[in-house]
Amino acid sequence: MKKKLELINKLLLESMLDDLDDSQKCTPGLYQVIRGYINDNREHMDTLPNEAIDILEQRMTDSLPFKKLG
């Protein structure tokens, strides 16, 4: 049963990521679903090394069309 749940979880995540790239499916509702998914899987995200989070945060900041001053 655990393997089936892991498969469903993987397929759901892949589908949501694909939907983010589709302008027809990228709606506020999708963002709510993704936010729920992140909240439901918070314990997995909390185990990421701080260095990985720092790198991801820096890349996201660098890709913004504007930057915070100060």
Q: How many residues does the structure list for the chain?
A: 70
Going from N- to C-terminal start, the domains of the chain cover: 2-63
Q: What pTM, to 2 d.p., does this model score?
A: 0.57
N-to-C CA span, the chain = 51
Q: How would DSSP label each residue in 13-54?
A: HHHHHHHHT-TTT--HHHHHHHHHHHHHTHHHHTTS-HHHHH
| Token pair in block for residue 51 | 């260095």
pLDDT digits (tens, 9 = 90+) for 15-30: 888 887 787 887 888 8
Question: For 45-68, how does the pLDDT look when each residue is reduced to its tens digit (9 = 90+)?
Answer: 777 677 766 765 666 556 444 455
Per-residue confidence at 2, pLDDT binned at 50, 70, 90? confident
Pick the closest to residue 40 from 59, 70, 12 (CA basis).
Answer: 12
